[in-house]
């Protein structure tokens, strides 16, 4: 039920270094399984699971409660169709996602963005944070800091890396930008920035200046404020997304139209995901189907 800088493109040679020799166990990879609704709800209820992306989760020694923050000691866990969990056997990860049947993308606590295939790893970028894989599994968007930099130091900028073409480009040269989410079907990227003094969502598109979607003209948090996503966002299509916003320890689902900037509060919930024929989220401890048509209709009349 529903409730109330232009993008600069630069082609570069492939930036991976030779495969590493990391001595880690080999979690089994294969065709991406369909994680069941029951397993999805169980992952959401497990306090050790800080994030899930498809069939890959982050299992942390002490995952923060009531926030989207990630604990400093996490392992990647591959989830089988029956819910079985196969860890990689490491404890230095901040993010993990699947690229394809044989590869994972990992972010280490030291800021190395890596691709893992079997037991071998390649370094794609250093001084990186907050990576996200595009729905087509080809592009990785992340925050890139100056060499030796990182959060709390010199500001970074949002960049994207196309693994197939060896192309790397700047999404937003904005020191207050973060949380890039590649939009399906093209070169657009949704991201968060506080450049106006208030966190809001923006869209970057090749050849155009970034476009502010939410909280336009606002300077204070009031009843009309649209919160920004943490780590959890699912695309319904190339124009509509559902994300989780967590404030004061309370997670709520929001729907967004990236064409118009319209947003709608869907009520308490978390872990939205796209599934065959629609979208689901964990609400009241169970995985529930959401009415996609109703969500889109509500966004069309949202203020």
Please give the model's pTM, rounded to 2 decimal places.
0.85
Q: Is 284 exposed, middle or buried (0-12, 13-18, 19+ CB in 10 A)?
A: exposed
DSSP 233: E
What is the rounded CA–CA span in Å between residue 298 and residue 48? 35
* Three-state DSSP state, 139: strand
What is the rounded CA–CA span in Å between residue 234 and residue 160? 19
Domains of the chain: residue spans and CATH: 8-228 (2.120.10)
Q: What percent of the chain has pLDDT over 90?
A: 61
In 30-183, DSSP assigns E strands to 49-53, 56-60, 74-79, 85-87, 93-100, 103-108, 113-117, 120-125, 128-133, 139-144, 157-162, 167-172, 177-182
**The pairing of beta strand 103-108 with beta strand 157-162:** unpaired
pLDDT (tens digit per residue) in 275-302: 887 899 999 999 999 999 999 999 998 7
| Residue 8, pLDDT score | 31
pLDDT (tens digit per residue) in 38-82: 999 999 999 899 899 999 999 998 655 555 566 668 999 999 988
What is the rounded CA–CA span in Å between residue 50 and residue 96? 11
pLDDT bucket at 149, cuts 50 / 70 / 90? low
């Amino acid at each position: 039920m529903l409730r109330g800088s232009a993008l600069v493109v630069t082609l570069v040679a492939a930036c991976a270094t030779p495969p590493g020799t990391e001595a880690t166990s080999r979690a089994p990879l294969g065709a991406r399984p369909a994680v069941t609704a029951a397993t999805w709800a169980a992952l959401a209820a497990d306090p050790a699971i800080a994030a899930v992306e498809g069939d890959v989760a982050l299992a942390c020694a002490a995952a923060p409660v009531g926030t989207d923050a990630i604990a400093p000691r996490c392992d990647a866990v591959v989830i089988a169709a029956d819910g079985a969990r196969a860890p990689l056997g490491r404890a230095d990860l901040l993010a993990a996602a699947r690229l394809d049947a044989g590869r994972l993308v990992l972010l280490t606590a030291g800021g190395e963005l890596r691709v893992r295939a079997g037991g071998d790893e390649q370094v794609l970028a250093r001084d990186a944070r907050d990576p996200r894989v595009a729905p087509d599994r080809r592009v990785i968007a992340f925050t890139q800091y100056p060499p030796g930099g990182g959060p709390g130091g010199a500001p970074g900028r949002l960049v994207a890396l196309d693994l197939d073409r060896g192309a790397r480009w700047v999404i937003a040269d904005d020191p207050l930008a973060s949380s890039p989410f590649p939009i399906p079907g093209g070169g657009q990227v949704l991201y968060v920035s506080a450049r106006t003094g208030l966190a809001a969502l923006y869209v970057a598109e090749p050849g155009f200046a970034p476009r502010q979607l939410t909280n336009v003209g606002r300077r204070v948090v009031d009843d009309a404020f649209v919160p920004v996503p943490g780590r959890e966002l699912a695309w319904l299509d190339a124009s509509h997304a559902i994300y989780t916003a967590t404030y004061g320890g309370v997670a709520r689902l929001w729907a967004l139209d990236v064409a118009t900037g319209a947003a709608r509060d869907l009520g308490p919930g978390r872990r939205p995901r796209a599934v065959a024929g629609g979208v689901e989220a964990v609400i009241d401890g169970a995985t529930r189907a959401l009415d996609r048509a109703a969500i889109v209709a509500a966004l069309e009349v949202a203020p």
